Structure 1
């Protein structure tokens, strides 16, 4: 890493505790720690709490929907660009904020939910917000160091999005933030940014159709797999995954004199122009009644290539009886939590749990499987096919954001990824009004055939695949119930098939 760039200043972490609802969260800042001046000084969190209480729950990437916000903790505040009062030039304030909430229904009682969800916020600052940025408005603080100024989502402002790219072009440090770049990568200046508007669990901006920056909104200590795995794949020459060009992290105090593991905040990767994701392609094929089996077969081939490369780049392990029993126990816990949160699952609890108990029984009988690093949240939307050559790539290796980072980084059977893709074909068929037509079954079979042409045939391990597909369907039920209730019927249809037939696809094997 190069010497630190001559950036501005940062605020030390300070803690705030809010009164209980229905009063809006407020934050108090104790006098401990060194003081800072300016925008990031005392009173910042208390002045922002009422605005964040209203704004955060409306964001697609906010994970605590349906639970009241009871307070905030300021982990770090860093001025990336100072705003001079009276100037038309914007400022940019980077925040890491913990949102305090009670545990959600169905979450394990031991989960310390009120203090665990840390969010990355980019606050643009102006005196008066231009009309074209009105949809990005957060609000105007009535107190504190930003009193009377207008705050908004900074990534929506091209000038501020361009500033982020400039920081990544010139590696260095700015308080707790560390900007890094691959040594052999040159990022040209002046690439025009545009914010991607698709609803997702993070935020992304494309620069000049050359790079895409993914900003992680819900962050925590440890290297995010979306940085770790693509970098590892690049070392073994895997071309199915765009290699990171640059990234940035935060190093924040955990206790006096110590630091937590760096939090991965954003990754810059090559953008693949002229490509479409697998979800769009599948729905397009359904709309025109075009075949998708050949595409699914090629996608299975590409997935197997990535799995082989991950096994080459990173350590693998063998799952024996203790590990398989632990794996099955985790699935049972997730099922029980989902049943508590979604009563519609209750009639199927015993039949679904049998798939996990059968997996544990196989371990007791001496069966073993190899585990390795995997994608972790593989579905059609996490794949891209370029129009020029029809080549498939895999993207977004973050894993399921709702799961702890340590769990997402743990070696797992490749059946986890395969089950995710098989479930995605079912989703496409349901959305494309082709459920029950055989479209999903044909796509699932073709994907497995393509995978088998490079790796092994996943259908040869039906009980392992059934357990993972059931686990994925249960996750989908909980997700849809919380975020998209209108979609709940899609995974519930799979739940009924898995429970009644005892096979991954219901009455017909994949």
Structure 2
């Protein structure tokens, strides 16, 4: 039995990790735009995976392009009063090969529909179209000026992402498709392009992007950068250090355990300061005057009270946060603001053999685009990274049988790496002294209040991590 594509998508999309509307019923799903993508050129990129899988009879015999169709589809999903847009790359085949069964959407009138981002036989069209700067229907494929793109590489979908889908082509490029579409230029394209023009060593080189007009606005659909194949994830490196510390029973100090991370935290602090200087040079800066600072503090208080209403355990710690907010409100000094990363933590940085590189400048995907592009204090990024050190040091204790012995070590590791990061940030030209420390303390506690709500909703076993921020002498 075949179904309409809309019916198939309504049942399929709720199971995708990047779908933002989980837990709510879909009241309507409609196809807003369809762009057929031509599979140009000879059929050599189409090879049979299994005998007879797509009308062929022997492994290795080329398929014809007529047997595969690929369409770029924009859909709108309505859930009660909320409506979101998503982009899909949908393929249609007479029969799905074994390797694509996990990407199946269902049987439609035009064949077996599937999520074509998983089909390395066809995703090369994304690279070739960017290299050619092609216009296909309403889609505009663009290449960064001065860059060359190798169009012969095959893709592999990364499995770790939540809100987007990333395809790695060979060991050269990573193409991020922004699954949920927000009308406007994505901050990642905007920021990375500007920093690349300035020759920043702290970004992955950009190669191209895809855009279209959505709701009357030029909108970023995908962004392709250098794939850092020899780099190590900052979160993974930090966890290795923490595990070494926990397993080093004879050591009494974090500095004596194998895998001490403090030197890297210091370098990361310097790289962060350099990045902030480049952002301040590439984009406008401004000043938030004292009255506006007080209004900002009131926003912190409202969010704290909202968090307490959802997680009553936080009420016992509210006085600590209010004291920090009072100190910020009483400083009576303006705050310099600029473009910042906006969602900065150890999972957003990679260590290459020569430098720390920062990724994912799109900000928090759940926030409105104008908020993600808004000017803010660079200390918001610093606060985010300091909170990440706390998470790295403590989250392994959630179900550890020896929590009492390891808790002091976790605190010591966090304090050592926080201090190293701040020292590096200061050495790199970032300011954290006097009233700056007051602002940083308030920003970190506001972030911790947000984390309390997130953990209560998603990972209750981790709730002690953000709650500890209100007890420990941070800042």
Q: Could you tell me the TM-score, scaled by structure 2's length?
A: 0.83
1:458 corresponds to 2:415: no
The DSSP-based 3-state class of the residue aligned with 1:226 is: helix
Contact 2:456 2:463 in 1 (8 A): no
1:234-313 alignment, distance < 5 Å: 234-252=196-214, 254=215, 260-289=216-245, 290-313=259-282
Q: Which string of whole-angstrom CA distances, capped at 9 and with x for unpartnered residues, describes residues 15-54 of structure 1? A: xxxxxxxxxxxxxxxxxxxxxxxxxxxxx9x923332233
Structure 1 residues 356 and 101: CA distance shift in structure 2, 3 A = farther
Structure 1 residues 357 and 469: CA distance shift in structure 2, 3 A = closer
Equivalent residue, structure 1, for 2:88: 121
The DSSP-based 3-state class of the residue aligned with 1:185 is: coil
Q: 1:71 aligns with which of 19, 25, 28?
A: 28
Structure 2: runs of 5+ lacking an equivalent: 41-53, 56-63, 246-258, 398-405
* Structure 1 residue 474 displacement after superposition: 2.9
Equivalent residue, structure 1, for 2:467: 495
- Does 260-269 or 371-380 show the bigger shift? 260-269
* Structure 1 residue 441 displacement after superposition: 1.4
The DSSP-based 3-state class of the residue aligned with 1:245 is: strand
What is the number of residues matched between the two proteins?
Answer: 428
The DSSP-based 3-state class of the residue aligned with 1:206 is: strand
CA distance in structure 2 between the aligned counterparts of 1:64 and 1:73, rounded to whole angstroms: 15
Equivalent residue, structure 2, for 1:15: none
* Structure 1 residue 272 displacement after superposition: 1.5
1:61 corresponds to 2:13: no
1:328 corresponds to 2:300: no
1:97 corresponds to 2:68: no
Equivalent residue, structure 2, for 1:131: 98
1:479 corresponds to 2:448: no
CA distance in structure 2 between the aligned counterparts of 1:406 and 1:355, rounded to whole angstroms: 30
Contact 1:348 1:495 in 2 (8 A): no
Contact 2:18 2:179 in 1 (8 A): yes
Structure 1: runs of 5+ lacking an equivalent: 1-43, 103-112, 142-146, 255-259
Equivalent residue, structure 1, for 2:170: 208
Q: Which string of whole-angstrom CA distances, capped at 9 and with x for unpartnered residues, describes residues 371-407 of structure 1? A: 0000111111110111x33x21111101111111100
The DSSP-based 3-state class of the residue aligned with 1:135 is: helix
Equivalent residue, structure 1, for 2:288: 319
Structure 1 residues 65 and 412: CA distance shift in structure 2, 3 A = same
Equivalent residue, structure 2, for 1:413: 377
Equivalent residue, structure 2, for 1:358: 326
CA distance in structure 2 between the aligned counterparts of 1:459 and 1:233, rounded to whole angstroms: 27
Contact 2:266 2:421 in 1 (8 A): yes
Contact 1:355 1:463 in 2 (8 A): no
* Structure 1 residue 155 displacement after superposition: 0.8
* Structure 1 residue 200 displacement after superposition: 2.7
CA distance in structure 2 between the aligned counterparts of 1:479 and 1:177, rounded to whole angstroms: 36
Contact 2:124 2:151 in 1 (8 A): no
CA distance in structure 2 between the aligned counterparts of 1:455 and 1:466, rounded to whole angstroms: 19
Contact 1:319 1:371 in 2 (8 A): yes
